[in-house]
């Protein structure tokens, strides 16, 4: 996808270092002068907490991280609960900004809502700032906003500092054009990313078929089989061993405080950092980056980290360095005289093991497999030499599929980089979208894109409204 844009013809220097030059007919004003109000979030009192599950959305930084068009939340609060705390409702179209670690997450309110203390709500002045333009602008300012945070443990940007931040303001009609253009480009990029994701899913499914056969039948198709006697496992090669996990694997216990050094600066792996079914850690964040404040497990390089939450997701990976892991995960160390680490990882990601873990998770209120149930799981495995042969064969057979997956992921990264750069250049006036034809989306059903905006993360998110939709609300 390519959109050819040119710079504006005339520029001026407003003297704002992070912004640089802007088009000559643009204003640069403090955010407070483009907003009706900047509203701080609040924490509900205990009496309000008792009234959750009502009809008012209560948005947190986690909600902003998952969705950019906030219409729902894991927490809701009743009118009675709202009356007992200092929070206030902000109107639909408000720009919701996370102002504590991590600073710079942004979303739009799809309905009147309240936010927690980790967020601030920018209520745009309808005559100065268009909501969707403001959303894209705040997203492009993420790194600048992060630089304004203060505090050593958990940096935060104050309301006064946020209000005094200088922002570029094009004429309102131009903001509408920019908002419409970027929303359409964004939608096009998301569809390209979705197609690549589907390709990756199909390739990973093919890999899973190959892996499941190798770890339940071995490499010799003529090898004699025996009944395992386990309802979720079926037959295995007759010469393979069958022992409980507790006899082969050590599960780390004891937790550390991620708020203190040296743990605060260590990488903290949580389930959301691990790709489902592949054994791949997709990105890294420190405990400080995540604002971690509860006990975590110490993990040594080479240990397997297995997520006990929602076993159907099959989230397990080998730690690439000494790190921490979430209390929702278990660090595992196999007996090296019996099991290769990579072979154990392959078993944990296999269909039979997942069937067992799912069955255990259905017996408790929270969908998870606890430590005792994990220890009681049967593991099936050959000799170390045969494990090595299987791992080598899998590596050879899966390598071409991994190459295709890597290429698809690289294309996704390039799509995202293109979108991020384009948005930043357009909302800061480096590129002119006037008179540019919007990407052709004829025949596409915009409803198909609800729930999957893919705005720079692997988490499915909600679609943005069209610029005209917010504009209609502004006029009411």
Cβ neighbours of 10 (radius 10 Å): 9
What is the predicted pLDDT for the residue at 75?
54
Which residues sit opposite 286 in a β-bridge?
267
Q: Please report, for the chain, the start and end positions of each structural domain, with discontinuous segments joined by +.
A: 11-192+410-475, 219-381
What is the predicted pLDDT for the residue at 51?
43
CA distance 455 to 374: 36
Residue in this structure with the two tokens 């069958």, named with its chain if needed: 242
pLDDT tens readout for residues 350-397: 999 999 999 888 876 678 899 999 999 999 999 999 999 999 999 999
Distance of CA 182 to the CA centre of its chain: 22
Which residues sit opposite 37 in a β-bridge?
123
User: What stretches of 278-370 show up as alpha helix (H) in DSSP?
Assistant: 287-290, 341-348, 351-361
CA distance 333 to 304: 7
Tokens matching residue 192: 């390209």
Q: What is the DSSP string of 443-476?
A: T--GGGGTT---SSSSS--PPPPPHHHHHHHHH-
- The closest alpha carbon to 156, from 233, 104, 214, belongs to 104
For the whole model, what pTM was predicted? 0.75
Q: Does domain 11-192+410-475 have CATH number 3.60.110.10?
A: no
pLDDT tens readout for residues 268-323: 999 999 998 889 999 899 998 888 889 999 999 999 999 999 888 899 999 999 99
* Region for 426 from its dihedrals, namely left if φ exceeds 0, alpha if ψ lies in -120 to 50, beta otherwise: alpha
What is the predicted pLDDT for the residue at 2?
59
91 half-sphere exposure, CB direction, 13 A CA radius: 13
CA distance 394 to 210: 8
Q: Does domain 219-381 have CATH number 3.40.50.720?
A: no
CA distance 59 to 74: 8
CA distance 5 to 427: 13
User: Would you write out the chain's pLDDT as a tens digit for each of its 476 residues?
Assistant: 556 889 999 999 999 999 999 999 999 999 999 999 999 987 655 444 444 445 678 888 888 877 778 876 545 555 544 544 556 789 999 999 999 877 889 999 988 888 888 899 999 999 999 999 999 999 999 999 999 988 766 788 999 999 999 999 999 999 999 999 999 999 999 999 999 999 999 999 999 999 999 999 999 989 999 999 999 998 999 999 999 999 999 999 999 999 999 999 999 999 999 998 889 999 899 998 888 889 999 999 999 999 999 888 899 999 999 999 999 999 999 999 999 999 999 999 999 999 999 988 887 667 889 999 999 999 999 999 999 999 999 999 999 999 999 999 999 999 999 999 999 999 999 999 988 876 555 433 333 333 333 433 333 334 455 444 444 333 33
CA distance 239 to 76: 56
pLDDT tens readout for residues 46-65: 444 444 445 678 888 888 87
């Amino acid at each position: 996808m390519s959109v050819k844009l040119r710079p504006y013809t005339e520029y001026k220097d407003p003297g704002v270092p992070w912004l640089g030059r802007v088009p000559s007919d643009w204003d640069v004003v403090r955010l407070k002068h483009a907003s009706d109000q900047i509203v701080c979030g609040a924490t509900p009192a205990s009496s309000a907490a008792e009234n959750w599950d009502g009809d008012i959305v209560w948005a947190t930084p986690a909600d902003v991280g998952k969705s950019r068009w906030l219409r729902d939340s894991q927490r809701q609060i009743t009118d009675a609960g709202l009356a007992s705390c200092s929070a206030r409702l902000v109107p639909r179209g408000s720009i919701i900004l996370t102002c504590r670690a991590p600073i710079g997450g942004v979303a739009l309110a799809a309905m009147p809502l309240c936010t927690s203390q980790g967020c601030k709500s920018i209520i745009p002045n309808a005559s100065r700032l268009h909501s969707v333009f403001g959303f894209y602008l705040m997203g492009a300012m993420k790194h600048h906003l992060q630089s304004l945070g203060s505090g050593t443990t958990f940096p935060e940007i104050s309301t006064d500092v946020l209000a005094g931040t200088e922002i570029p303001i094009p004429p309102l009609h131009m903001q509408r054009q920019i908002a419409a253009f970027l929303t359409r480009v964004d939608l096009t990029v998301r569809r390209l990313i979705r197609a690549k994701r589907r390709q990756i899913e199909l390739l990973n499914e093919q890999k899973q078929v190959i892996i499941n056969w190798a770890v339940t039948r071995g490499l010799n198709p003529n090898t004699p089989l025996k009944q395992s006697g386990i309802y979720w496992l079926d037959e295995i090669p007759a010469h393979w061993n069958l022992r409980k996990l507790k006899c082969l694997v050590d599960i780390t216990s004891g937790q550390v405080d991620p708020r203190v050094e040296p743990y605060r600066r260590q990488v903290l792996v949580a389930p959301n950092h691990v790709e489902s079914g592949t054994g791949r850690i997709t990105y890294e964040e420190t405990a400080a980056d995540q604002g971690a404040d509860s006990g975590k497990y110490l993990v040594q390089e080479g240990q397997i980290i297995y997520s006990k939450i929602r076993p159907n997701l099959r989230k397990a990976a080998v730690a690439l360095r000494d790190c921490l892991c979430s209390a929702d995960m278990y660090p595992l160390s196999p007996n090296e005289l019996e099991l290769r680490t990579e072979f154990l990882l392959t078993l944990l990601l296999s269909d039979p093991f997942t069937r067992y873990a799912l069955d255990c998770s259905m017996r408790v209120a929270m969908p998870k497999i606890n430590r005792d149930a994990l220890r009681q799981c049967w593991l099936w495995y050959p000799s170390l030499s045969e494990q090595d042969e299987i791992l080598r064969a899998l590596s050879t057979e899966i390598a071409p599929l991994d190459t295709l997956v890597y290429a698809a992921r690289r294309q996704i990264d390039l799509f995202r980089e293109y979108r991020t750069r384009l948005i930043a250049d357009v909302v800061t006036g480096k590129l002119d979208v006037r008179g540019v034809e919007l990407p052709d989306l004829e025949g596409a059903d915009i409803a198909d894109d609800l729930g999957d905006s893919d705005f720079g993360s692997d988490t499915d998110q909600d679609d943005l409204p069209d610029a005209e939709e917010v504009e209609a609300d502004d006029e009411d």
